[in-house]
Amino acid sequence: MTDTILDKIKAYKLEEVAADKAAKPLEAVEADARAASPVRPFADALFDAAREGYGLIAEIKKASPSKGLIRADFDPTTLAAAYAAGGATCLSVLTDTPSFQGAKDYLVAAREACTLPVLRKDFMYDTYQVAEARALGADCILIIMASVSDAQAHELEEAADEWGMDALIEVHDKAELDRAALLKSRMIGINNRNLKTFETSLDTTRSLSKYVDMDKMIVSESGLNTPDDLSEMAKFGARVFLIGESLMRQDDVETATRTLLANPLRPGGM
């Protein structure tokens, strides 16, 4: 059977984590995590924003495996400040290098440039990465159900909780959503991009949203480009969005962010 993009990412990521552990022992990473600046409330900020408008997790993303280079003029500090000025609620910063041209330093720079909570966007398999995320200043981690076992998901979520961080649990089909329901996190990310084929369809949020528990927050991810896309997803209960590529391609990121969020579909106005 041919390896998927996700399989290839997992293979190199496990090698990368092993190399990181050899270069810097867990005890040293944990010491850095304890010395990091206090955690900013990630999920709470999104819940607050979604009560009257939309919550936006704006992504700082230089490239992707499917699209290649997305933004040549790439400066995490400038982009973070633009997102914050444009009304974003939180940031997501890619720290994976081989597939996304991300870097751990990008997260540090972005968080220092504003007061928004920050998600470490990476492929997490080991609790070492969770401690490392906190050491970098992350306020939330991503757990991709397509890429981890139930035991790994629980371990990662528990580690995040121990460091005071939130966890965004990402799913892209009903089986993954059923598994995610066994976790404690209040945030369920429905990825409209199939991580095995990298094809995108907003029907993923449309079809899965009805199965998400009422006390959970739906975060619609990928394939969102216009205010109409957001209002359409809001009709299906998603009032929080993770958006990167469509904003990263804009010359004026601040204005593009403000425009995208300008006219939210009001709760109850469906």
Domain boundaries, the chain: 5-261
Burial group, residue 3, by CB count within 10 angstroms (0-12, 13-18, 19+): exposed
Q: What is the pLDDT along the chain (270 residues), one digit of tens a residue?
A: 567 888 999 999 999 999 999 999 999 999 999 999 999 999 999 999 999 899 999 999 999 888 899 999 999 999 999 999 999 999 999 999 999 999 999 999 999 999 999 999 999 999 999 999 999 999 999 999 999 999 999 999 999 999 999 999 999 999 999 999 999 999 999 999 887 777 899 999 999 999 999 999 999 999 999 999 999 999 999 999 999 999 999 999 999 999 999 999 987 654
Cα(84)–Cα(236) distance, rounded to whole angstroms? Answer: 26
Q: For tokens 């010359």, what's the residue?
A: 251
User: What are 140's strand-pairing partners?
Assistant: 119, 166
User: What are 60's strand-pairing partners?
Assistant: 93
Residues 6 or more apart in contact with residue 132 via CB below 8 angstroms: 20, 29, 33, 104
Kindly compute the dihedral angle of the four CA atoms of residues 167, 238, 40, 111, in this order, to the nearest 10 degrees. 100
Q: What is the pTM of this model?
A: 0.96
Q: For tokens 């909570």, what's the residue?
A: 117
Domain 5-261: give its CATH architecture: Alpha-Beta Barrel (3.20)
